[in-house]
Chain A
Amino acid sequence: MNNCIVAFCCEHSAYPAADLAGKLKLHYPENLRIIRVPCAGRVDLIHILKAFEKGAAAVMVMGCEGGACHHMTGNTRTKERVKYCNLLLREIEADGRLVAMFNLSPNAPHKFVGAVNEITKRIKESGR
């Protein structure tokens, strides 16, 4: 999995946003791999860490906007998990910013592409 970005996308927000990006023919790097989840809250630490173990350059968790989660608290719970994952990465002296939570609404394809570009920038900065 050299230099892939793994994105866990909530099927209520980020996944439709990614679809919309496709419909608008926006462009983002080809190394993005989207995994559809029913809510950002389903994403567990093991999923993120496994992606890094397999050589992912970065992991994105994408859920609904704060306060607008389809399942009330899924996005906030996962945000905490992602924060914890940041710490774990720092502990092993990796760049903690390579795992990040993004909040967006289903009608925000530009924000989706912006997020992917942002993480790509971070990968470059971290020298991978």
Chain B
Amino acid sequence: METKIGVFICNCSGTLNNIDFDAVVKKVVELPGVTSIKFISPLCLEEGKKKMLSCIREENIEKVVVAACSPEFKEHVFREVLENAGLNGHLFSMANIKEQCSWVHEGDVTGKVVELIKMAVSRTRLLQPVKMNNFSVNREVLVVGGGFEAINAALQLSRAGLRTTLLEREAVLGTGTTELENLCGFDINAMVMEVKGDENIEILAPAEVIETSGKIGDFNVRIRKGGEEISRKYGALVIATGYQTKLALESKLKSDVNIVSQEKLCHMLEDPELRIRPRTIGFMLDFADENSRLPTLATLNNALAAKRKWGSEVYVFCKNVKVDSERIERLYQEARDCGVMFLKSDVSPKVAAENGKIKIEAKDIFLGEDINLTCDVLVAEECLLPAEETEALSSILNIRRDSRGFYQDENVHLYPVASEKKGIFFIGGCRGNLDLSRVLTDVSSVVVSIYKLLSSGNILAEVERVKVDPQKCVACLTCIRICPHNAIQLVRVDGGKEVAEICDLACEACGICAAMCPAKAITFQGYRDEEILAQVETIGES
């Protein structure tokens, strides 16, 4: 027996005035499977939803088509109504008669509206229910890294009640955190003490990850610690391996004692026994590496400190000063007010060492003049690079890196801290050039995401929405190779045959595997070949 399909039409409070709804109703009633058709407007408000709900119940409607606005905005609203009425939320289609029909065409569009509803009905007839299920997950989290962001994340995760393991490559936690950032207000040593005293946090240091497998809620991680290998299970992984810096310098200048890094200058500024204060200091900024947010912050801080403490003449040679982080524009203004000179040049200045001094030749594009300057100390430009272990770790985790080698693609569609594999997150320096406020935002959003996923010990997910038919699968491995989310693996089924299996938790329902499978063994509920072809075949029938 044909399932009963209910069609609900809405005219969005009268904004769709180039449609003859009486004619639409007359045509749609004749469609096979359609048992009831209701015109309710506006359908998405409380009253409309109530009417829709009672209609579904009274007329025993089994599947629903809504002809209204775009599913992008209102799909979840109507799906909720279906679920309240006891129907499966997937037995539902929308015909977009507002944004993609009435509003883009002038004149009467009744014919097109009927056809759009026809397409939706033909798809809906074939839809099958998708069940939801609770999958139990491991509530432990692994944080890789031992810097400020890793420690901060571990502390917050522990406060959220999740057992956390902190895995650091070095023997000591908290090293290398103050290199470029100004960690004002955060005492890294106190944080390390807090981590050590926390019962919920286990510290593995020095240790490294050598292999990972599994999926969200159930990662198997093999760890090498002091010559022995241990195997652990985690629900989620957080990568906070940070960055490293490299001086952008010609090799012949590298040994010069008067050319220093930002870190060295910091030490000089704090050194009470420094005998000779440099009278002229030059900084280089933004020539070798355009991603200079952190170096800019360090340059401005150090230039101001040198000006105030030593009263030196300070010159900053720069291509651009990038002021896109918190406080940095004010710092720039302060530096200018104090008399720090900013010299803007298009090309990298020529630097030469001469009689214990540094000679700099540059062309200022505002003055249009050549500038020759002799400095006591030159602070070289620093380029940000991903930490050493990034490359190895990315191949262990099977996660892509961007063109500069950091984690997390420059892909605008991805949530910034989440990787393409569900359950693996990034914080801070390992995903690029981030200042302190951005790092703190990262930490918070990762902690909240993980808390949402793991805190209850269960994740509600769709069961077998995308499914491999073990009878048809020939284990050609195509799907396993192409799945962008690493959600497919090979398993042995009864009878010894090996087939691909899709993990419901890790699957993001893109359907790439369904299109690629040469044996057509993969079905994607809602977007099966039959459902897409039914829509194609309905087009232009009338």
A interface residues with partner B (beta carbon < 8 Å): 1-2, 4, 6, 11-12, 15-16, 18-23, 25-28, 30, 33-39, 41-44, 46-47, 50-51, 54-56, 64, 67-74, 77-78, 81, 105
- Beyond A6-B536, A73-B482, is A67–B100 a contact (Cβ under 8 Å)? no
Asked if B442 is at the interface of the complex by the 8 Å CB criterion, the answer is: no
B412 within 8 Å of A (CB atoms) = yes
Determine if A39 and B100 form an interchain contact, defined as CB atoms under 8 angstroms apart: no
A38's contact among B119, B527, B529, by CB below 8 Å, is which?
B527
Chain B contacts with A in 486-542, Cβ cutoff 8 A: 508-512, 514-516, 524, 527, 529, 532-533, 535-537, 539-541
| Most chain A C-beta atoms within 10 Å of own C-beta, residue among B100, B116, B119 | B100
A64 touches B413 (CB 8 A): yes
Nearest 9 pairs between A and B by C-beta? A22-B99, A1-B540, A42-B511, A41-B512, A72-B484, A71-B510, A70-B413, A22-B103, A39-B510
How far, in whole Å, are A35 and B529 apart by their CA atoms in the complex? Answer: 13
List, in ascending order, chain A residues with CB within 8 A of B71's CB.
Answer: 36
Q: Which residues of A contact B98 (CB under 8 A)?
A: 22
Residues of B within 8 A of A81 (CB): 515
CB distance from B276 to the nearest CB of A (A): 52
Question: A21 to B100, alpha carbons, bound, how many Å?
Answer: 8
Known: A18-B99, A27-B104. A54 touches B411 (CB 8 A): no
Whole-angstrom distance from the CB of B108 to the nearest CB of chain A?
A: 10
Interface presence of B233 (CB below 8 A):
no
Chain B minimum-CB-distance residue to A71: B510
Q: Which of B96, B412, B420, B540 gathers the greatest number of chain A CB atoms within 10 Å? A: B540
When C-beta atoms are compared, the residue in chain B nearest to A39 turns out to be B510
- A25: B residues at CB distance < 8 A: 103-104
Interface pair A37/B536, CB less than 8 Å apart: no
How far is B412's CA from A27's CA once the two chains are assembled, in angstroms? 28
Q: Which of these, A1, A4, A44, A74, contacts B484 with CB under 8 Å?
A: A74
The answer to whether A54 touches B515, judged by C-beta atoms less than 8 angstroms apart, is no
**Residue B400 lies at the interface, judged by CB distance under 8 Å to chain A:** yes
B360 partner residues in chain A, CB cutoff 8 A: none
A-chain residues with CB within 8 Å of residue B263 when the two chains form the complex: none
Complex CA gap A106/B533 in Å reads 25
| CB-CB nearest in chain B for A15 | B72
Contact A69 B515 (CB under 8 A): no
Taking a contact as CB atoms under 8 Å apart, the answer to whether B510 and A18 are in contact is: no
Q: How far is the CB of B533 from chain A (nearest CB, A)?
A: 5
- Chain B residues with Cβ below 8 Å from A105 are 412
19 pairs of residues in contact across A and B, judged by CB atoms under 8 Å: A15-B70, A16-B70, A19-B70, A19-B100, A22-B98, A22-B101, A33-B539, A33-B540, A35-B119, A39-B511, A41-B510, A42-B524, A47-B532, A67-B411, A71-B512, A72-B484, A74-B484, A77-B512, A77-B516
Nearest CB on A from B11, distance (A): 15
Instruction: State the Cβ distance, A24 to closest chain B Cβ, in Å.
Output: 9
Contact bitstring B107-122, A, C-beta under 8 A = 1, else 0: 0010010011001000
State how many angstroms separate the Cβ of B119 from the closest Cβ of chain A: 7
List the interface of chain B (C-beta within 8 A of A). Answer: 70-73, 96, 98-101, 103-106, 109, 112, 115-116, 119, 400, 409-414, 420, 482, 484-485, 508-512, 514-516, 524, 527, 529, 532-533, 535-537, 539-541
The distance in angstroms between the C-alpha atoms of A18 and B72, with both chains bound, is 11
Contact A77 B510 (CB under 8 A): no
> What's the nearest-Cβ distance from chain B to residue A103, in Å?
13
In the complex, what residue of chain B is closest to A56 when comparing beta carbons? Answer: B539
Contact of A33 with B104 in the complex, beta carbons under 8 Å: no
Rounded to whole angstroms, the CA-CA distance of A90 and B536 in the bound complex is 22
A71 and B112 CA atoms in complex are apart in Å by: 32
Inter-subunit contact A41/B119 (CB<8 Å): no
Shortest CB-to-CB span from A9 to chain B, Å, is: 9
Among B414, B532, B533, B539, contact of A4 (Cβ-Cβ < 8 Å): B539
Would you call B515 and A41 a contact (CB within 8 A)?
Answer: yes
A22 near B527 with CB under 8 A, answer: no
A18-B100, A21-B104, A27-B105 given as contacts; is B540 within 8 A of A55 (CB)? yes
- Measured between beta carbons, the chain B residues less than 8 angstroms from A4 are 539-540
B119 / chain A contacts, CB cutoff of 8 Å = 33, 35
Whether B413 contacts A39 by the Cβ 8 Å rule is no
Q: A2 to chain B: which residues have CB within 8 Å?
A: 540
Among B72, B105, B411, B524, point to the contact of A72 (Cβ < 8 A): B411
Shortest Cβ gap from A69 to chain B (Å): 7
Q: Which residues of A contact B116 (CB under 8 A)?
A: 33
Whether B413 pairs with A44 at a CB distance below 8 angstroms is: no
Cα A50 to Cα B106 in complex, Å, equals 30
Which residues of the partner chain B approach A37 to less than 8 Å between Cβ atoms? Answer: 511, 527, 532
What is the minimal beta-carbon distance from A112 to any residue of chain B, in angstroms?
Answer: 10
